[in-house]
Amino acid sequence: MASSADNTPENPESGSSTEPARRGRVRMRRAAVMAVPAVAVTAGLAILTAEGALGVQFSISGMPFTVTAKSLDGTGFEQFGDLDNMIPNSPNEGDTGGQVLIITSAIKNATLDSLCQSVDLGGINLLIKAGSGATKVTASDLTTDSTELSGNAAFNNIEIGNDASTLTKAGVQGKKGVFSQQADTVHIDNLRQTNYATTAGVFKLPGLKLSFSDTGC
């Protein structure tokens, strides 16, 4: 999501370094963690350009993957902002400085209809599908770190503007002073996410099918 100026010094003989520019970008990303998750409750879920919350506890690969579902139903819902980090000198770092602004969505218990996940491996996609039959995909303590999320959403008992360190609905807390929101339940139709990480306590994938495909989800 985050973009930055070209790292190449304009005058290579001046002895200038790319490091100050990189530090500047990192500071901007940290400041953006405070951004507001943009949710339109009545019209549906707009693209969320704020940043994710739990922030996974492992180094991300830096390769985004797409997740779609016909619908998602969840109890115990939270969202708030953070940064995900790659390993030092990751080949996928690009001009990000090894950090990606994300928005974490945390759901205590979730059910997904017709889950599809795909990652572009460079001309071919690794495709995972599950839960398209009578038995749906279920997950507990589910978190997704996303740069884009869209769909048509409805919430019950939503609270908008919480401090992320005080959230209670999904058992996850973010950093102090970060804008967040939470709700008792969430329903999203036509879910589509661009993710950098997913974690779950339990993830059940009935009818799992893994394949390679020319197209993604």
Quick: pLDDT tens for 166-180: 999 999 999 999 999
pLDDT value, residue 40: 32
CB 106 within 8 A of CB 149: no
* Amino acid at residue number 91: P
The residue-averaged pLDDT of 57-68 equals: 92
51 or 193: which leads in pLDDT: 193
169-189 exposure pattern, b = at least 16 Cβ within 10 A, e = fewer? bbebbbbeebbbbbbebbbbe
pLDDT value, residue 28: 53
Task: Express the helix, strand and coil content of the chain in percent, nearest 5 each.
Answer: 10, 50, 40
Give the DSSP letter of residue 40: B
pLDDT value, residue 30: 53
Structure confidence at residue 2 as a pLDDT band (50, 70, 90):
very low
pLDDT value, residue 156: 97
Tens digit of each residue's pLDDT (9 = 90 or more) over 6-52: 444 344 444 445 555 555 555 555 555 554 444 433 233 332 223 33
CA distance 33 to 36: 9
Tens digit of each residue's pLDDT (9 = 90 or more) over 88-138: 999 999 999 999 999 999 999 999 999 999 999 998 999 999 999 899 999
pLDDT value, residue 82: 87
The residue-averaged pLDDT of 140-166 equals: 96
pLDDT value, residue 58: 85
The CA–CA distances, whole Å, from 142 to 50, 78, 168, 183 equal 19, 11, 15, 15
How far is Cα of residue 23 from the mean position of the Cα atoms in its chain? Answer: 23
Closest CA to 55 of 118, 110, 100: 100
pLDDT value, residue 127: 96
The CA–CA distances, whole Å, from 87 to 2, 103, 145, 173 equal 18, 20, 17, 24
